[in-house]
Amino acid sequence: MTFISFNYTLFLLIVLGIYWLTPRQSGRVFILLVASLIFYGTFQLQYIPLILIITLFNFYLAQAIGEPEDWRIANTQWNRRRLLLLWLGIICNVLLLLSFKYIPFLLNIIGIIYNLPKILETANWVDDNVTAPLGLSFFCFECLAYLIDIYRGAPAAASWLEFTSYKLFFPKLISGPITRYHYLQNQLGMTGKKNSEVLVKIPALKFPNLEKVTEGIWLIATGAAKKALIADNLGIFVDLSFSNLQRAGSGDLWLATVAYGLQLYLDFSAYVDIARGSAFLMGLNLPQNFDFPYFSKSIAEFWRRWHTTLGDWLRNYLYFPLGGSRVGLFGTCLNLLIVMLIAGIWHGAAWGFIVWGIWHGLGLVIHRLVDSFSKQFNLKKVWESWLGILLSWLLTQGMVFGGWIFFRLPNLRDSIWVIEHWWGYDADVQFADKVYLEVMGLERLQLVWLICVVVVAMVVNFWFHRGLKLQLNWHLKVLLVPVFLFTVWLLAPEGLPYIYFDF
């Protein structure tokens, strides 16, 4: 049941009807849980018992980690016990992630290093026969954040029903955004437990007014348009180009690289738009995940704008505990490399993701060194000039889009082949006819112009929001929503899966 489908539309309408007809907030929380289980069951019914067991484990572990009922027993021994329980939770969640997503990769490494054919066969068998639960990476990161927050003093969930409804909340379940428990707890009027008293949140959830309903439907409509009309069409070209590497020329590889960067952003941000729009209609607000990332003027700014909930998680639960920027310039650079290496590994079990993480880590290190050098020699005005801004933007986007090659082709043999053939390589004569004319129905130059139109539309959107600080009023959105939805229904190609479903 993908977001852009009649089944999801019908499912969402039924859920909203039952949800708002239920008078008590506790009943609505139960409706969310049932709806989420049904939603996930349409993808992987077999894994529902597993995710419920994991949720139950983290719920009770967090209660054990929470503050003691009597602070007189909060001594060194108690704090040591809490820390051990926290590490138990971290290890179990990480092992769960490793067991499903990284076992074949690790077995392959062991088999190659020690020349063990049986290990390699086992790795191939696991890779072919074991499918990881959808959204496992997001699921585990949320669990880790919750356990650490409780250890730091936040109140633990008092009800397993409420915690499970948060963990399995269907709009965010598979591809985020990564959402902390207490962020939704405050909106849903859930209860929290701290010491021996139960902190009761007064339910303030009300049926959204017309403007908020319009905003929710608008997010769903624009998300569907971005995904189906732009991202999926770009994805067709990207898939054809990267699956026929030896036939594509240097110009085709450059065009596919740029197209993939746009596809990835539009695909993922479209998912988040629909997720946020669905939550809006339930009176809830999920965090934004993108803030015009391709207008960033440094790699550090890019990570404040790209996948912001992942960036927030990396800062709060990895970078700061490692010491952040309080450990000197060398320690800060080392921390940045470690954090981005883990970010790369989180995205997938392949050397390409590791290289991608190190690539961004090196970018952050270079930015930190240049920033330190500029402050020391009073060169910040150079970077603040229009020429400095343009240069820094070009360098940032060159690094970001160049890194996407390792993201799209995590097999290093393929990604390195692309980089080696970015210059001076002619395409196969049949490539243009097959890919551009037969499949895309366009010539190469026409596709270039269409991509330029997409980029210009992004610039105009950025200028309206950031430059003029203007937004469409809800009346105009009401008029545009049916236009967008009808256009999607009429022109959308056969839907491609969301890219971040793999992560």
Tokens for 39, please give them: 């939603």
Helix H or strand E segment including 21: helix 6-21
Phi, psi angle pair for 156, to nearest 5°: -75, 155
CB 189 within 8 A of CB 201: yes
347 is a catalytic site residue = yes
Give CA 404 to chain center in angstroms: 15
Phi, psi angle pair for 411, to nearest 5°: -75, 115
Write out 412-455 in H/E/C secondary structure.
Answer: HHHHHHHHHCCCCCCCCHHHHHHHHHHHHCCCHHHHHHHHHHHH
Active-site residue among 347, 367, 465, 475?
Answer: 347
Phi, psi angle pair for 421, to nearest 5°: -110, 20
Give dist(CA 377, CA 338) in Å, integer.
28
Question: What are the residues whose beta carbons fall under 8 Å from the beta carbon of 126, sequence distance 6 or more?
Answer: 103, 104, 107
Burial class (CB in 10 A: 0-12, 13-18, 19+), 90: middle
Of 271, 318, 260, residue with least CA distance to 294: 260
Say which amino acid occupies 288.
Q
Burial class (CB in 10 A: 0-12, 13-18, 19+), 300: middle
| Residues labelled catalytic | 347
